[in-house]
Chain A
Amino acid sequence: MLDYETLKVIWWLLVGVLLVGFAVMDGHDMGVGTLLPFVGKNDVERRIIINTVGPHWDGNQVWFITGGGAIFAAWPLVYATAFSGFYWAMLAVLWALFFRPVGFDYRSKIQDARWRSTWDWGLFVGGAVPPLIFGVAFGNLLQGVPFSFDEDLVSTYTGSFWALLNPFALLCGVVSSAMIAAHGAVYLAHRTEGAIAQRVRLTAVAAFVVMLLGFAAAGVWLAQGIDGFVIRSAVDTAGAANPLAKQVTREAGAWLANYQRWPLTLALPALGFAGALLAMLAVSRGRTLIAFVASSLAMTGVIGTAGISMFPFVMPSSSHPASSLTVWDSVSSHLTLSIMFWAVVIFMPLIIAYTGWAYRVMAGKVTADFIRENEHSAY
């Protein structure tokens, strides 16, 4: 069995991997959903757009579900505190997600313009709302959120839903939404042809520009205007998880400390910029597959930047800093982390293999002919 301290770090990385997996996989079909009502000018075009992700959206959504399950298993206190604290934000995500399975499956089963247009907007909500809220959530985590534990580790959250919608958090929401929309546009450029493909190339470039500007602005804001958190007491990184056993203070510039300590981590924000620039260049030249890979790398960079800036914090508390949750003290037991680690090691390669096979089977452009030939079975 790997030692406890190592497993705690590995699990921080694995949660990151699952988040990136979610952004790359579920992200592209959420991006497609976001763009659907704007890019698809008529029913056939919209059906083309939907069917590029038709066979895959459900598998992709499991990245999200597994990410949630993994946080439950590996960081139960984070799962408990974040989901209950962000109650209305989480319900908004959940209710937005309701529109996806039914939207995809039911939309084209009835030939009625109003019925179909209603579900198209449903798919838009299901694609646009979750990335926006996740971005806003990250923006709030970076500023700290108001919660504390009592002696029994019952968490109480004292903020409101509206307080989550502060300027910095909204900026992070814009970055997240732009990133997902750009990613979806790149995917559509790869899977469609003709007018739609032309249109989404421009969309992708525009969305990447917004994302790059937003990411840069958020970086400056974080460095200048947001106090980070620092653990001020000795931490037993291999000890039992107890979030009340430390002292924490807020300090200006603390979120930049990791970049000084490990200069190599600067590669993450750099990857965010470089990936987006490369994706922009590639998609405008029609090199859509390269653009998709570059866009995925950009998302890895952006999510990694948020993660490493806060490390070892996961969910800092603004109202009672000592209650902050870190990778050292919000985790499961040694045994559970170890079992879950092996479960990921065994199943993740299998998942990637058969998901890859599924994409290969369905590869190629989705065309108007395809929709005509599969009138009764396509989405």
Chain B
Amino acid sequence: MVSEQLVDLSRLQFAATAMYHFLFVPLTIGMTWMLVIMESVYVMTGKVIYKDMTRFWGKLFGINFALGVTTGITMEFQFGTNWAYYSHYVGDIFGAPLAIEGLMAFFLESTFIGLFFFGWDRLSRRQHLLVTVLMAVGTNLSALWILIANGWMQNPVGAEFNYQTMRMEMTSFWALVFNPDAQAKFVHTVSAGYVTGAMFVLSISSWYLLHGRDVEFAKKSFRIAAAFGFASACSVIVLGDESGYTVGEAQQTKLAAMEAMWETEPAPAGLKLIAGINEAQMKNDWEISVPWLLGLIGTRSLDKQLPGIHEIRAKNRERVVSGIEAVRALEQVRHNPDDLAAKARLQTHQANLGFGLLLRKYVRTMDEVTPELIDRAAADTIPRVAPLFWSFRLMVAIGFGFFALSGLALWYSIRGSFAERRWLLRWALWFLPLPWLACELGWFVAEYGRQPWTIYGVLPTHLSVSTLSVGSLYGSLAGFVGFYTVLLVVELYLMVRFSRQGPGSLGTGRYALETAHT
């Protein structure tokens, strides 16, 4: 059996490096379109200030992008280095979108980002704009493919277990691509990136306005950010991926957990705004809820029921029992491929194989399984409720905060009076870190809410790891923490330095603080 410490450390390392990576991704995703908008205005109007905007915000984008690339390679390595059995077990499906991401998206993004920075004097205006657009398309396509891969982890469609190769194999590529879960996730995630990009420009522009310098530059940037930000904030809320949560069973479990819905309520279920969660007794001590709301959002209907945690757990217990049969039959078939009876039993129980594998956390063979262990495995299928419940609520609250802020920013942009409303500018400035917090909370809900699985219902997390020593994990974790801390310090130093200096850092002679850095 795999040591629990190894599993915990592998999870910690993946979570830490993934969350760190996602500090840089959303800004990249959002900024690419902001740059496209700014440069389009430049090409259409010929006003050089818009070119300067593209170049200055592009400079900050570049500082951020460098760390996005750096930390992105870690993610690709880590499936192989630390999750070897996962890579073997589902690589047939999971590897494809990753490879296509490289072929279709990364090449596009990375080739044109070079021309974006270096091609200003060598390309015509239109050519350069095309380069910027292709860079943005590449960035967004890469989000699409990685979210197709991640969507499959939540809702594994278009695949089947093959006992000969001892792994999951693809049966339909299009089911994988058009997985509703992946599509909902893609729209939600890129929208969150757009909000991040818009808030970034809005905040820093507000800072210039509060200090009364580079005012024209800041005003123009603010207006674009307000409009783009408001559209994105609407999109991130309306197309919030809650609709995706009813698609597969994985998401039903996650939905029940993040809504602290212990009992199955008559449809349409109410939405708990806050609740006193009692994890030990599996109930809420008190709650304040809005009737009907969750049922309406979650199922888009009045009569479809959403299962509560108790019901899901009871159903999963049956699946564990069936899964034990699947594991037994699989062992027999692997031992003797001509055993037709075992093959037939495997066929019957195959859909629950993953639930049987949950027991491998406690026992080596299915002969050692006791009813208590079956209960335990069934209980394991429910993630902890309170962290999900509160993370989700905080994320949503921040989301509505963006909606209000960007709405007001847009309103006063249209009225032309935002630059005098210092309270608005200060609000925008204080909100600067919040998009990142919301993004991290969202990913926490998505990934922690999938536990105890790496692939929902198919492969338990504790079987997915590489057979490494605990010492190796401590060593690599320490290495990542060290490298990433230094890199973050350097990145923030440059970000703050160039943000403070502002467009003067371009050295064009048109802005304040030209001499602060040469």
Contacts and interface: CB of A to CB of B under 8 A. Distances in A.
Contacts of A151: 334
A69 B101 CA distance: 8
A351 B506 CA distance: 32
A335 interface: yes
A225 interface: no
A5 to B, nearest CB: 16
B99 A70 contact: yes
B390 interface: no
B507 interface: yes
- Which one of B120, B165, B487 has the highest number of Cβ atoms from chain A below 10 Å of its Cβ? B165
A58 B490 CA distance: 20
17 contacts: A66-B102, A66-B106, A69-B98, A72-B94, A80-B80, A80-B87, A80-B88, A82-B80, A87-B468, A242-B164, A340-B96, A340-B99, A343-B103, A351-B107, A354-B107, A358-B111, A378-B118
B62 interface: yes
Interface in B80-109: 80-82, 84-88, 91-96, 98-104, 106-108
B413 interface: no
Contact of B80 (A90, A240, A336, A355): A90
Contacts of A154: 84-85, 467
A163 interface: no
Contact of A102 (B66, B88, B468): B66
Contacts of A362: 114-115, 118-119, 122
Given A58-B114, A76-B87, A88-B472, A351 B483 contact: no
A65 B84 contact: no
Contact of B476 (A59, A70, A87): A87
B163 to A, nearest CB: 9
B476 A62 contact: no
Interface string A33-74: 000000000000000000000111111011001101110111
Contacts, number: 244
Band of interface residues on B: 35 or more
A106 B173 CA distance: 41
Interface stretch (B67-75, B250-258, B381-389, B400-408): B67-75
Contacts of A76: 87-88, 91-92, 95, 167
A289 B104 CA distance: 29
B517 interface: yes
A355 B114 CA distance: 11
Contacts of B72: 65
A101 interface: yes
B173 A332 contact: no
Interface of B: 55, 62-63, 65-67, 69-70, 72-74, 76-77, 79-82, 84-88, 91-96, 98-104, 106-108, 110-115, 117-120, 122-123, 162, 164-167, 169-171, 173, 334, 466-468, 472, 475-476, 479, 483, 487, 490-491, 494, 498, 505-507, 517-518
Contacts of A106: 63, 66, 490, 494
A53 to B, nearest CB: 9
Contacts of B119: 55, 361-362
- Which one of B66, B86, B91, B166 has the highest number of Cβ atoms from chain A below 10 Å of its Cβ? B91
A221 interface: no
Contacts of A351: 103, 107, 111
- Which one of B96, B101, B104 has the highest number of Cβ atoms from chain A below 10 Å of its Cβ? B96
Nearest to B58: A377
Interface of A: 54-59, 61-62, 65-66, 68-70, 72-74, 76-77, 79-84, 87-88, 90-91, 94-95, 97-98, 100-102, 104-106, 109-111, 151-157, 240-242, 332-333, 335-336, 339-340, 343-344, 347-348, 351, 354-355, 358, 361-362, 375-378
Contacts of A348: 103
Contacts of A94: 73-74, 77
Contact of A105 (B62, B86, B101): B62
Contact of B110 (A58, A83, A109, A332): A58
Contact of B69 (A61, A84, A335): A61
A95 B479 contact: yes
A58 B113 contact: yes
Contacts of B494: 106, 109-110
The 8 closest A-B pairs by CB, nearest first: A76-B91, A83-B80, A66-B102, A73-B95, A55-B114, A84-B466, A59-B111, A72-B95
Contacts of A65: 72-73, 76, 102, 106
A378 B59 CA distance: 11
A362 B131 CA distance: 14
Contacts of A347: 100, 103-104, 107
B107 A72 contact: no
